[in-house]
């Protein structure tokens, strides 16, 4: 099956080459980080987690969001999602691989990472996160391989795969819940110490993930001869609309509780995030871009006339994705550390090596996704008799 990814047009190979350039640049920067230490990043004893862990958090959400196509298709037999379900599962696979790579590059001693399994520690959520993420990867590889093989042969998937598919649904919820628990179970970090963090994570994930999937499906429609109807895309648009609305609602709940209660420890974080604190405001402009994009996307998504036009829908999806990336991939993690336990503001900003390593992991994810999508496109075109 994978051999289909080894033949392709010049445009395909050009894209692969383009991604490889970024992967190689990032790999070179990683070699430097490995030799020097995490000192090449902008991290410090005050902000010990930054860009890498934030990307990890964001991408766990994207991975989990595959459930938004899997659940309607398999549980409610919503046939319109038939052609895009495997595309959603492949987004999950490449996202989980990116997540794992982000964790790897964030480790101080990456080659000791298997200590997590050598000394399993049930009270550590980090342990559970590795367990659920690995499990989710295995589940998605298994399910997408088995169901797509059947599709290729034109037969129904074997019955034994059904329990795995059912299992993958709560499992998807679990990966993002456990990721939220990494943060929300810490007594010393008021910004994350909120029961709504996991639900909020899931809401933003179910907006950002399907938004990305809409963009990807439209690209697939453009570059291939596959016929994908508008209906599943529009339905995904409705999912994005609901999830984004719920997400914005949750964020407002957080801001209300934090600010109205007026407990300094809570207020300071929000102040830093949206206004700046003690003259430090690196994140604030980004957060306002995020807020504006969120409102803008909500208007486009909620008004049916806008949402039903695919051109406007795609604009809304780009806005959702960027807005949530800033919120989760930039603001959410760092703000938990500012101010620090001493009430002091020590700011963080990713360095050049950190930026390029991050970019290369995204390029790696895009490469994996490209290869997987190429296989699907080639086989479906073959089955439909285009070749």
Partner 1 sequence: MGFDRRKFLKLSGLTFLGFAAGSPARVFGQQDTTMVDSTATGDGTITPISGSRWAMLVDLRACNEKGGEDCDDCIAACHRVHNVPEFDDSHDEIKWIWKTSFHSAFHSQEHEFLDEAITHGNTMVLCNHCDRPPCVRVCPTQATWKRESDGIVMMDMHRCIGCRYCVVACPYGARSFNFRDPRPHIEEINPKFPTRMRGVVEKCNFCAERLATGKMPACVKACKHGALKFGDLEDPQSEVRKILGDGFSIRRRPELGTQPQVYYLV
Give the residues lining the site for partner 1 (CB under 8 A). Answer: 36-39, 41-46, 48-49, 103, 106-110, 112-113, 115-116, 118-119, 121, 123-127, 130, 182, 185-189, 264-265, 336-337, 340-344, 346
Q: Mutual orientation of helices 51-64 and 125-153 as an angle, nearest 10°?
A: 40
**At closest approach, how far in Å is the CB of 76 from partner 1?**
38
Q: Residue 43 phi/psi, 5° resolution?
A: -70, 160
Separation CA 212–CA 365 (nearest Å): 13
**At closest approach, how far in Å is the CB of 270 from partner 1?**
17
- Of 33 and 323, CB closest to partner 1: 33
Beta bridge partners of residue 277, listed in sequence order: 280
Name the burial class of residue 252, with classes exposed (0-12), middle (13-18) and buried (19+) by CB atoms within 10 angstroms of its CB: exposed
- Of 348 and 373, CB closest to partner 1: 348
- Of 26 and 336, CB closest to partner 1: 336
Comparing CA positions, the residue from 363, 348, 364 lying closest to residue 45 is: 348
**At closest approach, how far in Å is the CB of 49 from partner 1?**
6
Separation CA 223–CA 307 (nearest Å): 23
- Of 113 and 142, CB closest to partner 1: 113
Paired tokens of 241: 């609309």
- Collapsing DSSP to helix, strand or coil, 387 comes out as coil
**At closest approach, how far in Å is the CB of 129 from partner 1?**
9
Comparing CA positions, the residue from 98, 127, 105 lying closest to residue 43 is: 105
- The one-character DSSP state at 8 is -
Residue whose pair of structure tokens reads 């996704």 in the numeric block: 369
**At closest approach, how far in Å is the CB of 71 from partner 1?**
31
**At closest approach, how far in Å is the CB of 132 from partner 1?**
13
- Of 116 and 302, CB closest to partner 1: 116
Residue whose pair of structure tokens reads 């559970």 in the numeric block: 128
- Of 113 and 253, CB closest to partner 1: 113
């Amino acid at each position: 099956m994978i051999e289909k990814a080894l033949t392709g047009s010049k445009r395909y190979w050009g894209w692969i080459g383009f991604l490889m350039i970024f992967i190689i640049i990032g790999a070179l920067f990683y070699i430097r980080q490995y030799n020097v230490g995490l000192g090449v990043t902008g991290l410090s004893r005050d902000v010990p987690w930054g860009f890498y862990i934030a990307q990890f958090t964001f991408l766990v959400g994207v991975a989990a969001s595959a459930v938004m196509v899997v659940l309607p298709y398999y549980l409610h037999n919503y046939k319109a999602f038939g052609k895009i379900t495997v595309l959603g599962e492949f987004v999950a696979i490449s996202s989980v691989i990116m997540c794992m790579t982000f964790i790897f590059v964030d480790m101080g001693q990456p080659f000791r990472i298997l200590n997590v399994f050598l000394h399993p520690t049930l009270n550590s959520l980090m342990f559970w996160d590795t367990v659920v993420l690995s499990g989710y990867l295995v589940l998605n590889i298994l399910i997408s391989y088995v169901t797509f093989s059947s599709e290729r042969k034109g037969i129904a998937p074997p019955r034994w795969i059904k329990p795995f598919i059912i299992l993958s649904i709560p499992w998807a919820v679990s990966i993002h819940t456990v990721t939220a628990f990494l943060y929300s179970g810490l007594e010393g970090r008021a910004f994350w110490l909120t029961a709504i963090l996991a639900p909020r994570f899931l809401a933003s994930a179910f907006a950002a993930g399907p938004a990305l999937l809409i963009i990807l499906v439209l690209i697939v429609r453009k570059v291939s001869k596959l016929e994908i109807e508008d209906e599943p895309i529009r339905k995904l648009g409705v999912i994005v609309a609901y999830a984004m609305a719920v997400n914005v609602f949750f964020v407002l709940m957080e801001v209300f509780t934090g600010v109205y209660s007026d407990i300094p420890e809570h207020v300071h974080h929000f102040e830093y995030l949206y206004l700046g604190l003690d003259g430090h405001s690196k994140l604030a402009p980004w957060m306002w871009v995020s807020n504006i994009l969120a409102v803008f996307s909500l208007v486009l998504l909620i008004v049916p006339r806008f949402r039903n036009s695919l051109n406007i829908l795609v604009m809304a999806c780009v806005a959702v994705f960027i807005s949530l990336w800033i919120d989760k991939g930039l603001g959410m993690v760092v703000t938990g550390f500012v101010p620090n336990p001493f009430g002091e503001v020590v700011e963080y900003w990713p360095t050049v090596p950190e930026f390029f390593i991050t970019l290369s992991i995204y390029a790696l994810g895009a490469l994996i996704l490209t290869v997987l999508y190429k296989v699907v496109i080639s086989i479906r075109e073959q089955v439909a008799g285009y070749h």
